Amino acid sequence: MGLVAFASAKGSPGVTTASLLVGALWPRPTIVVECDPSGGDVALRMPGDDGQPLDPQRGLLSLVAAGRKSLYPGLVPAHAQRLVGGQEVVAGVSSPEQSAGIGQWAQLGELFAELPGSDVMADLGRIGAGTPQNALLTHAAALVMVVDTVPSNVIHLRERLRRVKDQTGGPVGVPVHVAVVAEPKRARAVREVAEALERAELQLAGVHHLAHDVPGAGFFLGQVSGNPDRTHLVRSARPIVQELSERTQPYFVPQVSTQDDSESLLDQEGQA
Ligand SMILES: Nc1ncnc2c1ncn2[C@@H]1O[C@H](COP(=O)(O)OP(=O)(O)OP(=O)(O)O)[C@@H](O)[C@H]1O
Ligand SMILES: [Mg+2]
């Protein structure tokens, strides 16, 4: 169906957490795919739905190996696993060395954007002007850049987006959203980040406030206790997910008018 990418410019502001969070709240079925070449974290943090650790042999690397000649959607289910709570994931590589052999980032992007029945949330980790996983972005419906409110990190994000924009002749060719991780009460700091980015004329699709919330983020470290719906993290993410899923929908589901549609339209017009 469609591909949404998550990344950061610097630091570890919570990209993996945001990918899993948005994947869990998305209104359509999702698969979270860890495409961070520096190594995946999900298999280290969360058990499978049977309570056992994920199978280390199944994930992005096994998918790429199986699709060496041809990557097609039917390959994906055998390399995806279900986390506790039900989220489907394709776990990332276990070391940067393993990702060195992955040359099919663009084909992976195409595959994930066309997967029947599921939208894909791709965790790209840290991206730069020349990082190989950028090739996935060509097929993405949206890119969500995660940042905190530290001024130097915001400047790094701004410069990163400028470079990627220069490289591709547009704002990465896809709508770019920024998720600013900040304490729930620090809306003003988020506005300041938004203003700083606005001044850079990066044509962002949106700047959103994602709560800094340790207990909420703990759910994505496998520390499951209580009701996640009540956490600041989930509450702050719901409007982001709604906007993102609504705004990206036209990319996912082309509005093809069927014969029935046109007939009923004609009928309505005839009656008017
Ligand atoms: N919104 C948040 N509020 C509080 N803590 C968070 C939040 N998001 C992430 N964290 C915590 O910050 C740490 C890093 O998070 P995460 O792994 O999601 O970041 P990352 O950007 O993917 O990092 P890496 O560079 O290692 O891939 C984790 O301990 C996580 O629980
Ligand atoms: Mg990560």
44, 87, 186, 210, 236 from 40: Cα distances, Å: 8, 16, 30, 22, 25
- State the average pLDDT over residues 3-19: 96
pLDDT band at 224 (very low <50, low <70, confident <90, very high): confident
Residues near ion ligand 2 (CB < 5 Å) are: 15-16
Predicted local distance difference test score (pLDDT) of residue 166: 56
Say which range, 15-29, 53-67, 129-143, 230-244, has the weakest mean pLDDT: 129-143
Predicted local distance difference test score (pLDDT) of residue 169: 45
Taking the C-alpha atoms of residue 33 and residue 15, their distance in angstroms, rounded to an integer, is 12
Measure CA 167 to chain center: 21
Say which range, 131-135, 171-175, 204-208, 268-272, has the weakest mean pLDDT: 268-272
Among protein residues, the one with the nearest Cα to ligand 1's atom 31 is 217
| Cβ within 8 Å of residue 31, ≥6 positions away | 23, 76, 80, 88, 89, 90, 112, 115, 118, 119, 120, 121
Taking the C-alpha atoms of residue 99 and residue 185, their distance in angstroms, rounded to an integer, is 39
| Strand spans (E) along the chain | 3-8, 30-34, 81-82, 88-90, 119-126, 142-147, 176-182, 206-211
- State the average pLDDT over residues 170-189: 87
Predicted local distance difference test score (pLDDT) of residue 130: 84
Residues 116-148 have pLDDT tens digits of 999 999 999 999 888 999 999 989 999 999 999
For residue 34, how far is its CA from the centre of ligand 1 (angstroms)?
14
Q: Which of 6, 10, 12 best tests ligand 1's pocket when mutated (most atoms within 8 Å of CB)?
A: 12
Residue 172 confidence (pLDDT) above 80: no
Atom of ligand 1 nearest to the CA of 181: 1
Among protein residues, the one with the nearest Cα to ligand 1's atom 15 is 14
Cα dihedral 58/64/69/72 (nearest 10): 80
- What the block records as the tokens of 87 is 């989220």
In this prediction the pTM is: 0.91
Residue 195 confidence (pLDDT) above 50: yes
> Which residue is listed with tokens 């060719």?
173
What is the 8-class DSSP label of residue 271?
A: H
Say which range, 54-58, 171-175, 231-235, has the weakest mean pLDDT: 171-175
Atom of ligand 1 nearest to the CA of 123: 22
Among protein residues, the one with the nearest Cα to ligand 1's atom 23 is 12
**CATH architecture assignment, domain 3-271:** 3-Layer(aba) Sandwich (3.40)
- What the block records as the tokens of 186 is 């620090």
Give percent helix, percent strand, percent coil of the chain, each to the nearest 5.
Answer: 45, 15, 35
- State the average pLDDT over residues 243-269: 53
Residue 173 confidence (pLDDT) above 60: yes
- Looking only at the bridges linking them, the beta strands covering 3-8 and 119-126 are parallel
**What is the three-state SS of 238-253?**
HHHHHHHHHHHHHHHC
Where do the structural domains in the chain lie, given as residue ranges? Answer: 3-271
> Which residue is listed with tokens 């992007």?
109
- Closest ligand by atom to 221 CA: 1
- What the block records as the tokens of 14 is 């919570």
Q: Given CA atoms 25, 95, 179, 63 in this order, what sign does their dihedral have?
A: negative
- State the average pLDDT over residues 263-267: 34
For residue 146, how far is its CA from the centre of ligand 1 (angstroms)?
10
Predicted local distance difference test score (pLDDT) of residue 248: 75
